[in-house]
Structures are given as structure tokens and as C-alpha cells.
């Protein structure tokens, strides 16, 4: 049935079909069809064990791939000053390369998602992720040898495109294999990207000091891109009928797979996109300026536990950044995606506001900076899960890639924080704005997204039913 756009069979359908299998032995055609359903929904214990090992292997490989590309974004700051010292370029000019990276890392993902889904579960992820690894290596090697700003920008663009391919395909594979735990699976893959730089940041700093930024860019690009290319050869998506139907998934899961062109016509998608945009905008504005905020509150250089409050705050924030993604994904799997979002938005509202109240104290700055990162992690666990639950699995990678472009749009709003500070002379107004964005998101989730989701579920059931009648 997957060729007609149906990837899973609902619990009610499975129970009905299984009852016919054992109760009506005279209808050979019905018996054959329902035996296939039994195979999908009630495999032997040994098959269950093999299935669990298989999908966890693919998930772990996906996490490894996102770990390998994490420092493309979070380790970039280490190269800015060495580039300035080597070439005399203005820092603002150098940072354009990072802008190119972010732009292609988000806006280039629909292409990667389309390739991954178009080429099928065996070849699609392998080619998309592996090709992304090649682009990552090529981009950093170009940047290592760049003697002009143009070459630096070209390297940043190529690296961003490769990172987007790797990230979106790995998340797509995860949500397809883990139908009952999509939030957790997507969150774990995202956690690799969010926290992976912690593994390489110290070795990179040491190598830059010992051998220079050129050698560091070259070898880290080659090694990490090569690791992604190798890991990609052992990753694939689930084939038709390979993933059992979910009996008691908390979020409603669609039996109809929407094509990207259909998704773009669904009002509920644009509500989800708007919420994603709001969360990314608030998070990017504040998290991009945590060091500036620490200096504004006069706590950056306060010594605490043998280090500065700024260093400890950034460390704690990065840990929470990694932990928040699988945590809220897991929470959404347990209580429902919208309830998980509301919990995250409430935490975000309180954290942004309380940072403005207690940020002048080192411990207040450290703790609530971490809580902001924790709450912001919901974007990378809950949103991919809900998108796949609503729009099906067949085109999940493409649909997730379109949703991910909200981060690219939000990036254009980041300068708003600096403009507000310049106008008001302090960061309180920015934190109040971020708290307000989260409060508005709570209302949108409850008053707009939840009703829209209910209407969408009804439409999806109707489409699935009409497709079943067509194939009968």
C-alpha cells in the first residue's frame, strides 16, 4: 500500500483486519491481505529484537554524523581572529562567511530532503548524507586555503549546504524508524548537532595554537567529512512494511502521506511554521548575545568555582542545549506534542524574564542562561515529530526540510536585538521581548494550533479512507 501514499495502518484497521484473518478462512484474497497485516503488526519476538537493534544502529549512526558537523557552526568562533590576523580582513567581512553557512544550512535543506526521499530508503539517505560529508570536507578545505574573501564565502556556502544535507537526512531517517518515539529520536539526532562541538572544541583550539588555523580547517574538515561519508554507507530508511504500526502512540499519526505541495496548502503547517519561527527568533537573538549580556550585567569576569561566570554560563548553556532536544522530544511522545510545546514555552517565558531579574548575580546568570537553552531545545525535538505525525512518513524528509527553513528566516531577525539595545541602552527590553514571544506562543499553541490539528486529523482520515477505497 505504500506506493499509494499509505505508510502505516492504524490500530483500529489492524485489529479489524486481524479479526477477519482468523475468522473468515473461506475468502482467500482477504486472508492473504490480512496475513500481511499480521506480519506488520505482530512479528515474532526474534524479529522484534532484530528490528530494535536495526533501528537503534541507524539512529546512532545518524547521531555520529551530526556530531561530526557540530563544530561547523559552534566552533566557527575559534577561526575568526586567526583569519583577521592572517589577512587583515575586517571581522564583519569574515562573519559574512558564517552568514553564508547558516543561509545554506537552512535554505538548502529542501533539496537534500527531496533527494533523500526521491531516491528511496536504501539509496536516498546514503547518497544525501554521504554527499553532505563530501561537501563539508570540500568547503573547509577551500576555506583553509582561501586568500580572498570571495573564496572564504564560497567555502562557507559549500559547507552550509553539506551540513544541511547531513542534518535533514539524519532527522528524516530517525522519525521514519521510530514511529512511536519520533520526538525522542529527532531530539537525539539534534542533540548531536547541538552538543557535539564540546568533543572537538578543545582539540581544535590546541591545533590552531600549535599548527595554525589553515591546518586545523584542512584536517578537521577532511577527517569529519570523511567520517560522515563512511557512516552514511551503513544508514538507510525503512522499507515498505518494515516498521510495525503503532498501537498506542500518544500523538495522532496520519495514515496518509502528504506531498510537500500538499503540505504547503495545509493551514496547520503554517501555524507550526510560525511557532517555529517565533521560537528560533527569540532563541537566536538572546543566545547569540549571551556573552554581551554577561558583560552588560557586569558578571562576565566574576570568578566562581575557579572560572569566570561567563565561561561557566556558556558551558552550562551548551549542556542544556544538548539535553533539551531529546528531553522535550521524549516529553512530547509521552503527553502529546502540543502539551510538550506548552510546557517548553512556559519554561521559556519564565527563564527569559528571570534572567532579566537575576542576571546581575553570577549564579542567576548561569542558571537561567541554561534554562533558556533547555527550553529552546524543544524546537528540534517536538517540531519534527509533530510534522511527521501530521503529514506522514513517505515524504517526511522533504517536509521537515521545508519546516527547518524557519530557522533561516529567524536568522534575519537576530540584528533586532542589537537595534533594541542601541535604542534603550540595556538588554532588559530584549529579554522582555523574548519572554513575550514565548507567552504569545503558548496562546497560539492552545488557541490556534490545537484546533487546527484537530481539523487536520479529520481531513487526513478522510483522505486515507478515500485512498483505501480507491485501492480496494
Q: What's the pLDDT score for residue 130? A: 96
Mean per-residue pLDDT, 434-456: 88
- pLDDT band for position 325 (cuts 50, 70, 90): confident
Residue 356 CB neighbours (<10 A): 21
Q: What's the pLDDT score for residue 138? A: 96
Q: How far apart are the first and last CA of the chain?
A: 10
Q: What is the CATH number of domain 250-472?
A: 1.20.1250.20
- Angstrom CA distances, 469 to 91, 196, 248, 391, stand at 62, 48, 25, 20
Angle, CA of 315, 319 and 321, to the nearest 5°: 115
Left if phi > 0, otherwise alpha if psi is -120 to 50, otherwise beta: which for 143? alpha
Beta carbons of 165 and 108 less than 8 angstroms apart: yes
DSSP state, residue 236: -
DSSP state, residue 336: -
Strand-pair partners of 307: 304
Q: What's the pLDDT score for residue 245? A: 66
Q: What's the pLDDT score for residue 310? A: 83
Residue 169 has pLDDT above 80, yes or no: yes
- pLDDT band for position 416 (cuts 50, 70, 90): confident
Mean per-residue pLDDT, 211-235: 94
Least confident range of 107-116, 137-146, 251-260, 322-331: 251-260
Domain ranges of the chain: 61-244, 250-472
Cell of 49: 529484537
Beta carbons of 117 and 176 less than 8 angstroms apart: no
Of 309, 281, 307, the closest CA to residue 370 belongs to: 309
- pLDDT band for position 36 (cuts 50, 70, 90): very low
Q: Do domains 61-244 and 250-472 have the same CATH topology?
A: yes
Beta carbons of 112 and 402 less than 8 angstroms apart: no
Least confident range of 191-195, 250-254, 415-419: 250-254
- pLDDT band for position 26 (cuts 50, 70, 90): very low
Mean per-residue pLDDT, 239-247: 74
Residue 16 has pLDDT above 80, yes or no: no
Residue 41 has pLDDT above 60, yes or no: no
- Rounded CA-CA distance 219/224 in Å is 8
Angle, CA of 434, 336 and 377, to the nearest 5°: 35
> What backbone phi and psi angles, to 5 degrees, belong to 234?
-115, 15
- Tell me the range of 56-60, 323-327, 447-451 where mean pLDDT is highest: 56-60
Beta carbons of 401 and 112 less than 8 angstroms apart: yes
User: What share of the chain in percent tops pLDDT 90?
Assistant: 32
Beta carbons of 392 and 254 less than 8 angstroms apart: yes
Q: What's the pLDDT score for residue 351? A: 94
- Rounded CA-CA distance 428/177 in Å is 44
Residue 18 has pLDDT above 50, yes or no: no
Residue range 333-388, pLDDT digits in tens: 888 889 999 999 999 999 999 999 998 999 999 999 899 989 988 888 889 888 88
Angle, CA of 298, 319 and 440, to the nearest 5°: 75
Beta carbons of 289 and 365 less than 8 angstroms apart: no
pTM recorded for the entire structure: 0.73
Higher pLDDT, 81 or 441: 441
Cell of 259: 506531498
Residue range 459-471, pLDDT digits in tens: 767 766 665 455 4
- Work out whether the CA dihedral 83, 224, 280, 274 comes out positive or negative: positive
Higher pLDDT, 139 or 197: 139
Q: What's the pLDDT score for residue 133? A: 96
Q: What's the pLDDT score for residue 46? A: 65
Average pLDDT, the chain: 81
Domain 61-244: CATH superfamily, name plus number:
MFS general substrate transporter like domains (1.20.1250.20)
> What backbone phi and psi angles, to 5 degrees, belong to 393?
-100, -25
Q: What's the pLDDT score for residue 76? A: 82
Q: E-assigned strands of 272-349?
A: 303-304, 307-308
Amino acid at each position: 500500500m505504500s506506493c499509494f501514499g499509505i505508510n502505516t495502518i492504524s490500530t483500529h484497521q489492524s485489529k479489524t483486519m486481524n479479526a477477519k484473518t482468523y475468522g473468515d478462512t473461506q475468502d482467500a484474497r482477504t486472508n492473504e491481505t490480512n496475513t500481511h497485516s499480521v506480519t506488520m503488526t505482530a512479528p515474532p519476538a526474534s524479529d522484534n529484537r532484530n528490528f530494535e537493534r536495526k533501528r537503534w544502529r541507524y539512529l546512532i549512526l545518524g547521531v555520529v554524523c551530526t556530531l561530526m558537523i557540530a563544530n561547523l557552526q559552534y566552533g566557527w568562533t575559534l577561526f575568526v581572529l586567526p583569519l583577521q590576523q592572517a589577512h587583515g580582513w575586517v571581522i564583519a567581512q569574515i562573519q559574512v562567511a558564517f552568514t553564508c553557512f547558516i543561509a545554506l544550512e537552512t535554505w538548502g535543506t529542501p533539496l537534500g530532503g527531496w533527494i533523500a526521499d526521491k531516491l528511496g530508503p536504501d539509496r536516498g539517505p546514503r547518497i544525501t548524507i554521504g554527499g553532505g560529508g563530501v561537501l563539508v570536507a570540500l568547503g573547509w578545505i577551500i576555506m583553509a586555503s582561501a586568500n580572498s574573501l570571495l573564496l572564504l564565502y564560497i567555502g562557507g556556502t559549500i559547507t552550509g549546504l553539506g551540513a544541511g544535507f547531513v542534518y535533514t537526512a539524519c532527522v528524516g531517517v530517525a522519525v521514519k524508524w521510530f514511529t512511536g518515539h519520533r520526538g525522542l529520536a529527532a531530539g537525539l539526532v539534534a542533540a548531536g548537532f547541538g552538543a557535539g562541538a564540546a568533543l572537538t572544541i578543545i582539540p581544535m583550539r590546541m591545533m590552531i595554537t600549535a599548527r595554525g588555523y589553515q591546518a586545523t580547517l584542512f584536517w578537521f574538515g577532511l577527517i569529519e567529512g570523511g567520517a560522515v561519508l563512511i557512516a552514511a554507507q551503513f544508514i538507510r530508511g525503512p522499507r515498505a512494511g518494515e516498521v510495525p504500526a503503532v498501537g498506542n502512540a500518544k500523538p495522532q499519526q496520519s495514515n496518509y502521506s502528504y506531498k510537500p505541495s500538499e503540505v504547503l496548502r495545509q493551514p496547520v503547517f503554517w501555524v507550526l511554521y510560525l511557532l517555529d519561527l517565533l521560537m528560533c527568533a527569540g532563541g537566536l537573538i538572546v543566545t547569540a548575545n549571551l556573552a554581551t549580556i554577561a558583560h552588560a550585567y557586569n558578571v562576565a569576569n566574576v570568578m566562581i568555582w575557579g572560572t569566570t561566570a561567563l565561561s561557566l554560563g556558556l558551558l552550562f548553556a551548551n549542556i542544556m542545549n544538548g539535553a533539551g532536544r531529546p528531553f522535550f522530544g521524549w516529553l512530547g511522545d509521552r503527553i502529546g506534542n502540543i502539551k510538550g510545546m506548552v510546557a517548553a514555552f512556559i519554561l521559556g517565558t519564565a527563564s527569559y524574564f528571570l534572567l532579566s531579574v537575576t542576571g546581575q548575580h553570577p549564579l542567576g546568570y548561569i542558571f537561567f542562561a541554561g534554562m533558556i537553552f533547555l527550553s529552546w531545545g524543544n524546537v528540534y525535538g517536538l517540531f519534527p515529530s509533530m510534522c511527521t505525525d501530521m503529514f506522514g512518513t513517505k515524504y517526511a524528509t522533504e517536509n521537515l526540510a521545508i519546516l527547518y527553513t524557519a530557522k533561516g528566516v529567524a536568522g534575519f531577525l537576530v540584528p533586532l536585538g542589537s537595534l533594541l539595545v542601541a535604542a534603550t541602552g540595556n538588554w532588559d527590553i530584549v529579554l522582555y521581548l523574548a519572554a513575550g514571544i514565548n507567552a504569545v506562543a503558548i496562546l497560539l499553541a492552545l488557541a490556534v494550533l490545537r484546533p487546527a490539528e484537530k481539523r487536520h486529523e479529520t481531513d487526513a482520515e478522510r483522505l486515507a479512507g478515500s485512498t483505501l477505497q480507491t485501492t480496494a
